[in-house]
Amino acid sequence: SQKIEQNSEALNIQEGKTATLTCNYTNYSPAYLQWYRQDPGRGPVFLLLIRENEKEKRKERLKVTFDTTLKQSLFHITASQPADSATYLCALEEMNTGFQKLVFGTGTRLLVSP
Amino acid sequence: DGGITQSPKYLFRKEGQNVTLSCEQNLNHDAMYWYRQDPGQGLRLIYYSQIVNDFQKGDIAEGYSVSREKKESFPLTVTSAQKNPTAFYLCASTTGQGEETQYFGPGTRLLVL
Protein backbone atom coordinates (compact mmCIF):
# COMPACT_ATOMS: atom_id res chain seq x y z
CA SER A 1 0.00 0.00 0.00
CA GLN A 2 1.05 3.60 -0.51
CA LYS A 3 2.45 5.34 2.51
CA ILE A 4 4.10 8.63 3.45
CA GLU A 5 5.97 8.67 6.74
CA GLN A 6 7.13 11.61 8.77
CA ASN A 7 8.48 11.36 12.28
CA SER A 8 5.48 11.74 14.55
CA GLU A 9 7.62 12.68 17.52
CA ALA A 10 8.38 16.35 17.97
CA LEU A 11 11.86 17.53 17.11
CA ASN A 12 13.36 19.75 19.80
CA ILE A 13 16.41 21.82 18.93
CA GLN A 14 18.21 24.87 20.21
CA GLU A 15 18.12 28.21 18.48
CA GLY A 16 20.88 28.60 15.92
CA LYS A 17 21.15 24.89 15.17
CA THR A 18 20.08 23.19 11.93
CA ALA A 19 16.81 21.29 12.02
CA THR A 20 16.46 18.29 9.71
CA LEU A 21 13.08 16.72 9.07
CA THR A 22 12.53 13.50 7.12
CA CYS A 23 9.82 12.40 4.71
CA ASN A 24 9.88 8.79 3.50
CA TYR A 25 7.43 7.27 1.05
CA THR A 26 6.63 3.87 -0.39
CA ASN A 27 4.79 2.78 -3.51
CA TYR A 28 4.71 6.24 -5.02
CA SER A 29 6.57 7.59 -8.03
CA PRO A 30 5.97 11.30 -7.60
CA ALA A 31 7.08 13.78 -10.21
CA TYR A 32 7.51 16.31 -7.40
CA LEU A 33 7.25 16.75 -3.68
CA GLN A 34 6.19 19.76 -1.63
CA TRP A 35 6.77 20.98 1.90
CA TYR A 36 4.28 23.04 3.89
CA ARG A 37 4.35 24.76 7.26
CA GLN A 38 1.32 24.66 9.55
CA ASP A 39 0.87 26.70 12.71
CA PRO A 40 -1.63 25.55 15.37
CA GLY A 41 -5.23 26.17 14.36
CA ARG A 42 -4.30 27.52 10.93
CA GLY A 43 -4.11 26.25 7.36
CA PRO A 44 -0.85 24.97 5.86
CA VAL A 45 1.35 27.41 3.97
CA PHE A 46 3.49 26.34 1.02
CA LEU A 47 7.26 26.51 1.46
CA LEU A 48 9.10 24.63 -1.30
CA LEU A 49 8.53 22.33 -4.26
CA ILE A 50 11.23 19.99 -5.58
CA ARG A 51 10.97 17.97 -8.78
CA GLU A 52 12.16 14.40 -9.32
CA ASN A 53 15.07 15.55 -11.48
CA GLU A 54 16.27 18.05 -8.85
CA LYS A 55 18.56 16.86 -6.11
CA GLU A 56 18.36 19.98 -3.97
CA LYS A 57 16.45 23.23 -3.72
CA ARG A 58 17.09 26.22 -1.49
CA LYS A 59 15.11 29.21 -0.31
CA GLU A 60 16.73 31.53 2.20
CA ARG A 61 17.40 29.37 5.31
CA LEU A 62 15.47 26.41 3.90
CA LYS A 63 16.90 23.50 1.94
CA VAL A 64 15.12 20.46 0.55
CA THR A 65 16.65 17.34 -0.95
CA PHE A 66 14.87 14.65 -2.92
CA ASP A 67 16.31 11.17 -3.40
CA THR A 68 14.03 9.10 -5.63
CA THR A 69 16.22 6.02 -5.15
CA LEU A 70 15.90 6.12 -1.37
CA LYS A 71 12.33 7.46 -1.70
CA GLN A 72 13.15 10.16 0.77
CA SER A 73 13.12 13.92 1.12
CA LEU A 74 14.99 15.86 3.77
CA PHE A 75 13.96 19.33 4.87
CA HIS A 76 16.58 21.50 6.55
CA ILE A 77 16.22 24.80 8.38
CA THR A 78 19.58 26.40 9.10
CA ALA A 79 20.20 28.93 11.88
CA SER A 80 16.83 27.98 13.34
CA GLN A 81 14.81 30.52 15.31
CA PRO A 82 11.97 30.13 17.83
CA ALA A 83 9.68 31.56 15.13
CA ASP A 84 10.38 28.42 13.07
CA SER A 85 8.46 26.36 15.63
CA ALA A 86 5.55 24.78 13.76
CA THR A 87 4.44 21.52 12.16
CA TYR A 88 5.99 20.75 8.78
CA LEU A 89 4.11 18.61 6.27
CA CYS A 90 5.44 16.91 3.18
CA ALA A 91 3.10 16.18 0.29
CA LEU A 92 3.38 14.06 -2.84
CA GLU A 93 1.41 14.47 -6.02
CA GLU A 94 -0.79 11.60 -7.11
CA MET A 95 -1.51 11.82 -10.81
CA ASN A 96 -3.34 8.55 -11.46
CA THR A 97 -6.46 10.46 -12.41
CA GLY A 98 -4.67 12.94 -14.67
CA PHE A 99 -5.39 15.67 -12.17
CA GLN A 100 -3.24 16.94 -9.37
CA LYS A 101 -4.10 15.47 -6.03
CA LEU A 102 -1.74 15.87 -3.13
CA VAL A 103 -1.24 13.18 -0.50
CA PHE A 104 0.02 14.61 2.79
CA GLY A 105 2.19 13.11 5.48
CA THR A 106 1.13 13.41 9.11
CA GLY A 107 3.69 16.15 9.75
CA THR A 108 6.54 16.64 12.19
CA ARG A 109 6.34 19.24 14.94
CA LEU A 110 9.46 21.34 15.33
CA LEU A 111 10.18 23.16 18.60
CA VAL A 112 13.04 25.65 18.62
CA SER A 113 14.02 26.83 22.07
CA PRO A 114 15.89 30.08 22.75
CA ASP B 1 -6.07 40.82 -0.98
CA GLY B 2 -6.40 37.50 -2.78
CA GLY B 3 -7.01 34.43 -0.77
CA ILE B 4 -9.36 31.83 0.61
CA THR B 5 -11.83 32.46 3.36
CA GLN B 6 -13.61 29.86 5.43
CA SER B 7 -16.46 30.42 7.81
CA PRO B 8 -17.27 29.99 10.53
CA LYS B 9 -14.05 29.50 12.47
CA TYR B 10 -15.86 27.24 14.96
CA LEU B 11 -19.06 25.30 14.31
CA PHE B 12 -21.12 23.23 16.67
CA ARG B 13 -23.31 20.40 15.46
CA LYS B 14 -26.14 18.77 17.30
CA GLU B 15 -27.05 15.11 16.93
CA GLY B 16 -28.77 14.40 13.61
CA GLN B 17 -28.11 17.85 12.23
CA ASN B 18 -26.61 18.77 8.87
CA VAL B 19 -24.18 21.67 8.89
CA THR B 20 -22.56 23.55 6.02
CA LEU B 21 -19.03 24.92 5.98
CA SER B 22 -18.33 27.83 3.68
CA CYS B 23 -15.28 28.20 1.43
CA GLU B 24 -14.78 31.19 -0.88
CA GLN B 25 -11.75 32.13 -3.00
CA ASN B 26 -10.96 35.21 -5.05
CA LEU B 27 -7.81 33.78 -6.64
CA ASN B 28 -9.63 32.88 -9.88
CA HIS B 29 -8.62 29.26 -9.32
CA ASP B 30 -10.43 26.47 -11.15
CA ALA B 31 -9.69 23.64 -8.71
CA MET B 32 -10.86 23.47 -5.12
CA TYR B 33 -10.44 20.85 -2.41
CA TRP B 34 -11.80 19.90 1.01
CA TYR B 35 -9.61 18.15 3.56
CA ARG B 36 -10.24 16.83 7.02
CA GLN B 37 -7.45 16.92 9.60
CA ASP B 38 -7.45 14.80 12.74
CA PRO B 39 -4.63 14.67 15.29
CA GLY B 40 -1.90 12.31 14.14
CA GLN B 41 -3.56 11.56 10.81
CA GLY B 42 -2.54 14.39 8.55
CA LEU B 43 -4.82 15.79 5.88
CA ARG B 44 -7.32 13.48 4.21
CA LEU B 45 -9.11 14.44 1.02
CA ILE B 46 -12.91 14.57 1.23
CA TYR B 47 -13.97 16.03 -2.12
CA TYR B 48 -12.39 17.98 -4.94
CA SER B 49 -13.62 19.96 -7.91
CA GLN B 50 -11.73 20.68 -11.10
CA ILE B 51 -14.28 23.06 -12.64
CA VAL B 52 -17.66 24.57 -11.94
CA ASN B 53 -20.54 22.07 -11.76
CA ASP B 54 -18.17 19.13 -11.44
CA PHE B 55 -16.73 17.42 -8.37
CA GLN B 56 -15.30 14.04 -7.40
CA LYS B 57 -15.13 12.03 -4.20
CA GLY B 58 -11.86 11.91 -2.37
CA ASP B 59 -10.69 9.25 0.03
CA ILE B 60 -13.25 9.84 2.80
CA ALA B 61 -16.38 11.23 1.12
CA GLU B 62 -18.95 9.20 3.05
CA GLY B 63 -21.20 11.42 5.16
CA TYR B 64 -20.26 14.57 3.25
CA SER B 65 -21.67 16.41 0.25
CA VAL B 66 -20.50 19.39 -1.81
CA SER B 67 -21.65 21.70 -4.58
CA ARG B 68 -19.78 23.86 -7.06
CA GLU B 69 -22.27 26.26 -8.61
CA LYS B 70 -19.82 29.15 -8.79
CA LYS B 71 -16.10 29.23 -9.46
CA GLU B 72 -15.48 31.14 -6.24
CA SER B 73 -17.44 28.92 -3.89
CA PHE B 74 -17.19 25.28 -2.78
CA PRO B 75 -19.35 24.66 0.31
CA LEU B 76 -19.12 21.40 2.24
CA THR B 77 -22.10 19.89 4.04
CA VAL B 78 -21.45 17.51 6.89
CA THR B 79 -24.53 15.33 7.03
CA SER B 80 -25.99 13.39 9.93
CA ALA B 81 -24.60 10.25 8.27
CA GLN B 82 -21.09 11.35 9.27
CA LYS B 83 -20.83 9.69 12.67
CA ASN B 84 -17.52 11.19 13.72
CA PRO B 85 -17.53 14.74 12.40
CA THR B 86 -15.34 16.36 15.03
CA ALA B 87 -12.26 17.56 13.15
CA PHE B 88 -10.49 20.53 11.62
CA TYR B 89 -11.72 21.15 8.06
CA LEU B 90 -9.51 22.82 5.49
CA CYS B 91 -10.41 24.17 2.08
CA ALA B 92 -7.75 24.68 -0.60
CA SER B 93 -7.49 25.80 -4.21
CA THR B 94 -5.12 25.66 -7.18
CA THR B 95 -5.29 26.85 -10.77
CA GLY B 96 -5.70 23.19 -11.79
CA GLN B 97 -2.84 23.33 -14.27
CA GLY B 98 -0.67 20.79 -12.46
CA GLU B 99 2.54 20.88 -10.43
CA GLU B 100 1.38 23.65 -8.21
CA THR B 101 1.09 24.63 -4.66
CA GLN B 102 -2.20 24.53 -2.85
CA TYR B 103 -3.49 27.65 -1.17
CA PHE B 104 -5.30 26.86 2.05
CA GLY B 105 -7.97 28.70 3.98
CA PRO B 106 -7.75 29.27 7.74
CA GLY B 107 -9.89 26.23 8.54
CA THR B 108 -13.13 25.51 10.40
CA ARG B 109 -13.15 23.48 13.58
CA LEU B 110 -16.32 21.40 13.88
CA LEU B 111 -17.39 20.19 17.30
CA VAL B 112 -20.28 17.98 18.27
CA LEU B 113 -22.57 18.99 21.12
Q: Summarize pLDDT for B68-96 with one digit per residue, the tens.
A: 999 999 999 999 989 899 999 999 999 77
Contacts of A9 in chain B (CB under 8 A): none
**Residue B109 clears pLDDT 90, i.e. is over it:** yes
Contacts of B88 in chain A (CB under 8 A): 41
The verdict on a CB contact (< 8 Å) between B104 and A34 is no
The verdict on a CB contact (< 8 Å) between B41 and A100 is no
Closest to A97 in 3D by CA, of B17, B107, B95, B96: B96
Task: Identify the bridge partners of residue A86 per DSSP, sorted by sequence position.
Answer: A110
The confidence band for A11, taking pLDDT boundaries of 50, 70 and 90, is very high
Question: Touching check for B101 and chain A: CB below 8 Å?
Answer: yes
The 3-state DSSP class for residue B82 equals coil
First to last CA, chain B: 35
Task: Identify the bridge partners of residue A79 per DSSP, sorted by sequence position.
Answer: none
Nearest chain A residue (CA) to B38: A106
- Interval A15-30: pLDDT, tens: 999 999 999 998 888 8
The 3-state DSSP class for residue A8 equals coil
pLDDT of residue A17: 97
